[in-house]
Amino acid sequence: MAKKAILTDSEKHRTTGFARSGLVDSAPGTPAQTVHDGDTVNVQLDGNLGLRLLGIDTPEISFSLPSGQFAGLDDARWTEFLSNPWSDQWGPMSTGIPPALQAFLQAKVGSDAASTHYMHAVASREEFRRLVEQDMQILQQSPETFRYYMNFGFEVMDGYGRLLCMLNRNQPNATQPTPRPPTYNLRMLERGRAFAYFIWPNVNPWDRPESIEEAVIPPGQARQLAETDRELRTARMAVKEARRQHLGIFDAMRPLLLEPFELRNLSRRAGASRFLIDLTSTSDSLIHPLEYNSVPFSEDRLWIPGAYVPLFEKAGWKVPASPG
């Protein structure tokens, strides 16, 4: 496996990285060329860097089983696990799961949950590959010359050392050689190859407030935001239209019922940990993580990481107690 430039260690709560001298005229520069002042130096990452598309969640090709072993979703052990993820053999859940949420999830699992997930995961992967290959052909570029364009939200990197961004082909001219297409993020949603997965504060990198405090949604104005914010509105409409046409994960005969984050949580033996806001509501209350099922559609959920809940509370949002 190729070397990674950024590594994370969840046990030691540590993120580390590797870099080389920055390029000067296509060659590694000398200290005199790359050190600009007492606290700034140009570098290039030494190794590959993962990149996570903002605002979407696609089926998992592979993931860690409850035992900790990493396996593809086509592995028979996943079929056994997802047939009955509540069995004592998988160990207890670290957080209590309310009856309503357990019933909600129970309707999504079963003997074919793993194979269906794997089928859609492969289809999503192949769609993303096809889109990039198609862009290379349109731009008449090769893997050596093709470049991505990245646009970041407030958080540039996630806890796994991956860049978080909106991603597209790098096409400086908006109309040549063809009109610039939507981001890969949106194109995957349009084709029904991903669920919406909006996590605040990285909602709209194109129209980012000056400070994170300014990005806090006023209480009761979530629906107004969803209707007026161009990125949110476009992404939500794309998902709704893909569902209406039964595209990809919304296939009428074999839809993907278990969302990727739900599969990850079940395997980790944990419940959802982020609060959320219903983008169709005018409520001034956050929704508890273990009651996310009260908002059934992915495009109607705006997830709020726990570290930011105090900002919303300070702004006037009500924070619910744990259910039960």
- pLDDT tens track for 73-84: 999 999 999 999
Percent of the chain past pLDDT 70, that is, above it, reads 99
Query: How do 43-45 and 19-21 pair as beta strands?
Result: antiparallel
Q: How far apart are CA 107 and CA 95, in angstroms?
A: 20
pLDDT at 36: 87
End-to-end CA distance of the chain: 46
User: What's the one-letter identity of residue 65?
Assistant: L
Task: Return the bridge partners of 5, or none.
Answer: none
User: Does 125 have pLDDT greater than 90?
Assistant: yes
Output phi, psi for 149, to 5 deg: -110, 130
User: Does 102 have pLDDT greater than 70?
Assistant: yes
pLDDT in tens, 265-306: 999 999 999 999 999 999 999 999 999 999 999 999 999 999
Domains delineated in the chain: 6-45 (no CATH), 51-315 (2.40.50.90)
Residues 6+ apart with CB under 8 A from 304: 200, 274, 275, 276, 277, 286, 312
Q: What does the chain come to in residues? A: 324
Calculate the alpha carbon distances from 115 to 87, 188, 255 in Å. 19, 21, 12
Calculate the alpha carbon distances from 167 to 55, 82, 154, 240, 288 in Å. 11, 33, 15, 22, 31
pLDDT at 315: 97
Cβ atoms of 203 and 153 within 8 Å: the answer is: yes
- Model pTM above 0.75: yes
User: What's the one-letter identity of residue 282?
Assistant: T
Query: How do 301-304 and 70-72 pair as beta strands?
Result: unpaired
Burial class (CB in 10 A: 0-12, 13-18, 19+), 311: middle
Highest mean pLDDT among 9-18, 155-164, 179-188, 207-216: 179-188
Which residue would you say has higher pLDDT here, 313 or 41?
313
Of 100-114, 147-161, 227-241, the poorest mean pLDDT is in: 147-161
Mean residue pLDDT across the chain:
94
Map tokens 């949420």 to a residue.
101
Q: How confident is the model at residue 324 (pLDDT cuts 50, 70, 90)?
A: low
SS3 annotation, the chain: CCCECEEEECCCCEEEECEEECEECCEECCHHHHEEECCEECEEECCECCEEECEEECCCCEEECCCCCEEECCCHHHHHHHHCCCCHHHCCCCCCCCHHHHHHHHCCCCCCHHHHHHHHHHHHHHHHHHHHHHHHHHHCCCCCCCCEEEEEEEEEECCCCCEEEEEEECCCCCCCCCCCCCCHHHHHHHCCCCEEEEECCCCCHHHCCCCCCCCCCCCCCHHHHHHHCHHHHHHHHHHHHHHHCCCHHHCCCCCCCCCHHHHHHHHHCCCCCCEEEECCCCCCECECHHHHHHCCCHHHEEEECHHHHHHHHHHCCECCCCCC
Map tokens 């794997």 to a residue.
118
pLDDT at 12: 79
pLDDT at 169: 94
Residues 6+ apart with CB under 8 A from 245: 192
